Chain A
Amino acid sequence: MRNTMETTATPGASIRTERVFERFTRKQRWEHWALFLSFTVLILTGLPQKYRTTTWSQQILATPERLYQIQTIHHIAAIVLIVLVIYHLINAIYRMSRRNLSADMFISWKDFRDAGQMITYLLFLRKDKPRYGKYSFEEKITYWFLFFGIGIMLLSGIILWFPEIITRVLPGSIIPAAMLTHSTEAIVAGIFVVIWHFYHVHFQRLNLSIFTGKMDEADMQNHHAMEYQRLTGEMPTQIEEESS
């Protein structure tokens, strides 16, 4: 892990060194963009199809051609997501084979302890929050919830896209099962992203590191203390007690 050093000269003040840490690589930031865009397009084009019997959906899908158009857009976005998932998995497998895959995103016992500590903290039963590594257990929940959610969506989506071909191999009952799953899981994933991910990256604090790739020293010390310590060898000094 590289960390960049930047110096900022403030007129009339002593020179202060502020360290900025690289949190996401360029490739990871592209991956997030691809996921963000395809997910948004898939949700926006999927909802009118799910709720076809409602008036608002019928206003959007005002002609039969519109339905085919929106399905085409949905399929194009799905291809983007499929390519992303394949890239992501191949990258992970390749790194694993080189024994080079970072373990940061994998779930460990520490995550369970952190979750327990965080819940007792939120219930005012203790004063200090857990000290996280590169990814907090909250971020890991986001990743793995969407990892499996997207897996379910892609599998069920492909079944619905090519039902005639799929049923040459699999039993027919897979089709209604895929319809129920695709339609429900989409809403689940949407709700999850809105309440969980949006809160943590927009409202709790605005965390743009997935776009900039960088995180400043204060945020590193406050939110990823263990990672800060690992990278710098220093104990975090700025931890705000009882901060949000």
Chain B
Amino acid sequence: MVRRQRFFIISLCLAAVCSIAGLTLAFTERAHADVLSQTTQGTEAYCLSCHSNPDLKMTLPSGEELSLYISAEDLQHSAHSPLGIECEACHTDIKTYPHPVINYQTSRELSRSYYLACKKCHSTIYEKAQDSMHAQVAAENPNAPICTDCHGSHYIQPPDEPRAQISTTCSKCHTEIYDQYKNSVHGSELIGKNNPDVPVCTDCHGVHNIQDPRTTQFRIQTPELCANCHANAELMSKYGLPSDVYDIYKLSWHGVDVSVYKARWPTIWHDSAVCTDCHGIHDILKADDPASSVNPANLLATCQKCHPGVSANWTSAWTGHNKISQERTPLLYYIDVFYSSFIPVVLWAAGIYVLLQILRATVNRVKRSIK
């Protein structure tokens, strides 16, 4: 009994300290926290008086065993508890003991019901998530992720600390893609090295309103998506990469085609190559990596995905993401010189000759009319 009292006092003190800390947070967060902490403060200690028992569990009608244990220590380090957002903030239906009867058949059903509590405070993010691919498939697939699947329920931590945590979270379901990603030029820099410059899943796919990446709309946005980083001169110079790849791509046969589809027919599927068609998606490698799809050794096979049966000569039709230069593309260079220096001289000469003819004819006509 003495232990219990002491624990109660400690918990109260902790809650008080944490609610002061909460005041220092951002305004909106603070507003939520204030409202909630006023109404829910103290419930945590009360609940934990039972739920801190590691053996506490119940059996659901499905036969599934549901642990009811809450680690007081982990709770103290979660995002909510230190702000005074305690048990009753989410478990709104449980106000006293004995608890009302739980009617959920499975723990999944329970999660899918309880996670709606997130909406109370995080309504904007909740609404965003309702537009996502995950929410769309949730109608048929009860395992489609809900807030708590990615963020956790009781022991919520910042989702991006460390940054690689984001990819780890996605990998819980998207295992195969994660395996591709972790060996890619981007993933290998993130995992272990924690490079802040490389994209994690959410940088390309979005966070809460994740869309189906197999759609026409997603495909047409791909070049701009990659350009977010690859057209950033400052970022690219850090890695010795050119930042004009996107601009040169836009002038290419593929790029022009894609830009027209984007401007006019964004909902019509197009086959002109976007970045990922040649470079790969999750498995992108450096071009000089022998396994890269754009390595000269593999380039023909990559072209043949869309241009079946082309000969080995075909690959040199692709000038890379390079400007016309005398060393790299001499034929183009000399054609360009011919049309940008010699031909304008010829056309100007023709124009001036015609102007002189007009002048002389006009002078003659005036002279004749004066006579």
Residues of A within 8 A of B (CB): 52-53, 58, 61-64, 119, 121-124, 141, 163-164, 167-177, 179-181, 184-185, 188, 191-192, 195-196, 199, 203-204, 242-244
- State the Cβ distance, A40 to closest chain B Cβ, in Å: 20
Q: Nearest CB to that of A123 among chain B residues?
A: B356
- B contact residues, range: 35 or more
Interface-facing stretch out of B142-150, B258-266, B279-287? B258-266
Contact across chains for A204 and B347 when beta carbons are under 8 A apart: no
Contact (A244, B364) CB under 8 Å given A172-B317, A188-B339: yes
- By a CB distance below 8 angstroms, the chain B residues around A141 are 350
Contact pattern, B 260-299, Cβ under 8 Å of A = 1, otherwise 0:
1101110010100000000000000000000000000000
- By a CB distance below 8 angstroms, the chain A residues around B256 are 52-53
- By a CB distance below 8 angstroms, the chain A residues around B329 are 173, 176
- By a CB distance below 8 angstroms, the chain B residues around A61 are 260
Whether a CB of chain A sits under 8 angstroms from the CB of B38 is: no
Contact across chains for B357 and A204 when beta carbons are under 8 A apart: yes
Can you list 16 pairs linking A and B with CB atoms under 8 Å apart? Answer: A53-B263, A63-B265, A122-B357, A122-B359, A141-B350, A171-B313, A172-B315, A174-B331, A181-B335, A185-B339, A191-B347, A192-B350, A199-B358, A242-B364, A244-B360, A244-B364
Contact across chains for B331 and A173 when beta carbons are under 8 A apart: yes
Contact of B260 among A53, A171, A175 (CB under 8 A): A53
Contact across chains for A188 and B343 when beta carbons are under 8 A apart: yes
- State the Cβ distance, B260 to closest chain A Cβ, in Å: 5
User: In whole angstroms, what is the CA distance A191 to B348 when docked?
Assistant: 10
Interface-facing stretch out of B6-14, B48-56, B230-238, B304-312? B304-312
Contact across chains for B317 and A122 when beta carbons are under 8 A apart: no
Q: Nearest CB to that of A156 among chain B residues?
A: B335
- By a CB distance below 8 angstroms, the chain B residues around A123 are 356
Contact across chains for A172 and B360 when beta carbons are under 8 A apart: no
Using A122-B359, A181-B335 as known contacts, list a sample of 8 further A-B pairs with CB atoms less than 8 Å apart, ordered by residue number in A: A64-B270, A119-B356, A167-B310, A171-B313, A173-B319, A176-B329, A203-B358, A244-B361
- State the Cβ distance, A57 to closest chain B Cβ, in Å: 9
Contact of B354 among A121, A124, A196 (CB under 8 A): A196
- By a CB distance below 8 angstroms, the chain B residues around A184 are 335, 339, 343
Contact pattern, B 148-192, Cβ under 8 Å of A = 1, otherwise 0:
000000000000000000000000000000000000000000000
Query: Shortest 7 CB-CB distances between A and B: which pairs?
Result: A172-B316, A244-B361, A172-B317, A175-B317, A122-B356, A167-B313, A184-B339
Contact across chains for A163 and B317 when beta carbons are under 8 A apart: yes
Q: Nearest CB to that of A198 among chain B residues?
A: B354
Contact across chains for A164 and B335 when beta carbons are under 8 A apart: no
- State the Cβ distance, A174 to closest chain B Cβ, in Å: 7
Whether a CB of chain A sits under 8 angstroms from the CB of B69 is: no
Contact across chains for A195 and B347 when beta carbons are under 8 A apart: yes
Contact across chains for A176 and B339 when beta carbons are under 8 A apart: no
Number of A-B pairs, beta carbon distance below 8 Å: 106
Residues of B within 8 A of A (CB): 253, 256-257, 259-261, 263-265, 268, 270, 307, 309-311, 313-319, 329, 331-332, 335-336, 339, 343, 347, 350-351, 353-354, 356-361, 363-365, 367
User: In whole angstroms, what is the CA distance A86 to B361 when docked?
Assistant: 39
User: In whole angstroms, what is the CA distance A172 to B357 when docked?
Assistant: 45
- By a CB distance below 8 angstroms, the chain B residues around A164 are 307, 309-311, 314
- State the Cβ distance, B363 to closest chain A Cβ, in Å: 8
User: In whole angstroms, what is the CA distance A174 to B260 when docked?
Assistant: 25
User: In whole angstroms, what is the CA distance A203 to B343 when docked?
Assistant: 24
User: In whole angstroms, what is the CA distance A58 to B265 when docked?
Assistant: 10
User: In whole angstroms, what is the CA distance A122 to B349 when docked?
Assistant: 14
User: In whole angstroms, what is the CA distance A161 to B329 when docked?
Assistant: 22
- By a CB distance below 8 angstroms, the chain A residues around B365 are 244
- By a CB distance below 8 angstroms, the chain B residues around A170 are 313
- By a CB distance below 8 angstroms, the chain B residues around A173 are 316-317, 319, 329, 331-332
- State the Cβ distance, B371 to closest chain A Cβ, in Å: 11
User: In whole angstroms, what is the CA distance A175 to B318 when docked?
Assistant: 8
- State the Cβ distance, B57 to closest chain A Cβ, in Å: 61
- By a CB distance below 8 angstroms, the chain B residues around A163 are 314, 317
Contact across chains for A176 and B347 when beta carbons are under 8 A apart: no
Most chain-A CB neighbours within 10 Å: which of B315, B347, B359? B347
User: In whole angstroms, what is the CA distance A203 to B335 when docked?
Assistant: 33
- By a CB distance below 8 angstroms, the chain A residues around B317 are 163, 167, 172-176
Q: Nearest CB to that of B318 among chain A residues?
A: A172
- By a CB distance below 8 angstroms, the chain A residues around B311 are 164, 167-168
Most chain-A CB neighbours within 10 Å: which of B253, B259, B313, B351? B313
- By a CB distance below 8 angstroms, the chain B residues around A172 are 313-318
User: In whole angstroms, what is the CA distance A124 to B361 when docked?
Assistant: 11
Contact across chains for B351 and A195 when beta carbons are under 8 A apart: yes
Contact across chains for A195 and B354 when beta carbons are under 8 A apart: yes
Contact across chains for B259 and A53 when beta carbons are under 8 A apart: yes
Q: Nearest CB to that of B311 among chain A residues?
A: A168
- By a CB distance below 8 angstroms, the chain B residues around A63 are 265
Contact across chains for B264 and A122 when beta carbons are under 8 A apart: no
Most chain-B CB neighbours within 10 Å: which of A169, A177, A184? A177
Contact (A62, B314) CB under 8 Å given A124-B360, A188-B343, A192-B350: no
- State the Cβ distance, A152 to closest chain B Cβ, in Å: 10
